[in-house]
Every structure is written in C-alpha cells, then in structure tokens.
Amino acid sequence: MSLTVYEPFARDYEAWSAEMTEDVPFYVGLAREADGPIVELAVGTGRVAIPMARETRRRVLGIELEPAMLEQARANAAAAGVHLELRLGDMRELDLDEPAALITCPFRSLLHLPTWADRRRTFERVAASLRPGGRFAWNAFCFDYAVAARNEGPNRDARVPHRIHHVPAESRLDITLDSGGTISLWWATRNEWLGLIDVAGLEVEALYGWFDRRPFDDESREFVWVARKPG
C-alpha cells in the first residue's frame, strides 16, 4: 500500500500535467546527445521518460517514490510499445549499478524536497552517479510575487480543481486538491541552485529561461538548468 502524500495526486496526475508539453523536446534533445544510460528522477507516469526512450532507443531508468505513479508509468510504457526500466525509490538515496550519461528531473520535481540538506544529498548522489562529463538537467519556477498573488486561493476551473496557498516565511506553496490530498513545494533562488551545484562538485553548462533555450534574464520565470560533472 502507498503511504506517500502523492497517492491522491496519482489518480489525476495525467490531467494535472497535460498542459506541460514544451519540456519534452528539451529533455529528449539532451537524451539524444547522451552517450550512455539515461535516468529520470521523479518519473511520474512516464510523460517525459517514454518519449526519451522511444526517440533514443537507449536504456532509460525511471525512479519514483509513489507506487501508483510507477504502475501507471508501466501501463503507459506498455501502451506506447516502449521499454522503461522502472524502480521504486527516493532520489535522495540514488544508487545506480552503472554511471549515467544523463540524469534528468523534469516538472519542477526537485521542489518537493523541503530542506537544503535534502537537496544537497540529492545533488551529491546525482554527482556520484554520473560518469565524467555526464549531465544533470532540471527545471524549477522562479518565484514571482505577482504570479503567486494571481494563483493564491481556489482554482475550480482547472483540469484538476485545487487550491493554492503560499507561505513566504518558509518559501513554500501548498497545493490541495478539491478531491482531497495536499502536497508542498519549496521554491529556491538562483544562488541557492548555484550553491547546490557547487557543493556537489558539478559545473554549470547552461541556464536557460525556458525550454526553447532562450537566455535567462530578469524577465525569466523558469530556471532550466544543465550541469555537468567535470571530466
């Protein structure tokens, strides 16, 4: 039986994530450039991992904390005729049998880690799991008070009706489904991400402002990072 807070979201995850499509070509492009195993953290229902596997025909391992998500990913991969290696696990405890050429964490999933220690542990495990020259790519929103003000409160017209509540004192937002269940995300600044990259011994390859690889600037509202392990 699933005991994670993500179980209520697993039922509606595909509807929840349906509007996000622009990240898929970005991550698939990185996967095409990889010269070895590919790993996706927080694979969810396979929204990004399945296209990566289909387009590259390489081994793709997906790691997910919520069993119900993992079961849906298996079903989706089978329906797409794609083989995914899927594993139940916590990204903070990443341990691979073979070093990866590319590790990804799409859809702002690193923001589910609540503390600096959790994120540092994850980045250190990622660095240890990459081959020299391997890449780590992820995205996360840039916190914007105006956007937060617009999103605060109930959203009954969404594909999945929900309520958002921001807690600035903790850099946290809570998402509560009308059908029940709450998850939280903890936002981070550019310098916090740079600190994590540094302590893990990685190097910044690129920081984009969106998945079309536009430059990151003062108007950007999304961090799209690519870091590399030296070697």
Sign of torsion, CA 116 117 122 123? positive
Q: What is the pLDDT of residues 71-130, one digit of tens each?
A: 999 999 999 999 999 999 999 999 999 999 999 999 999 999 999 999 999 999 999 999
CA–CA distance from 1 to each of 4, 46, 81 (Å)?
9, 21, 28
The percentage of the chain sitting over the pLDDT mark of 70, rounded to a whole number, equals 99
Residues near 209 by Cβ (< 8 Å), separated by ≥ 6? Answer: 215, 216, 217, 219, 220, 221, 222, 224
> pTM (2 decimals)?
0.97
Question: Which residues on neighbouring strands pair with residue 207, listed in sequence order?
Answer: 225
- 125-143 core/surface letters (b: 16 or more CB in 10 A; e: else): bbbebbbeebbbbbbbbbe
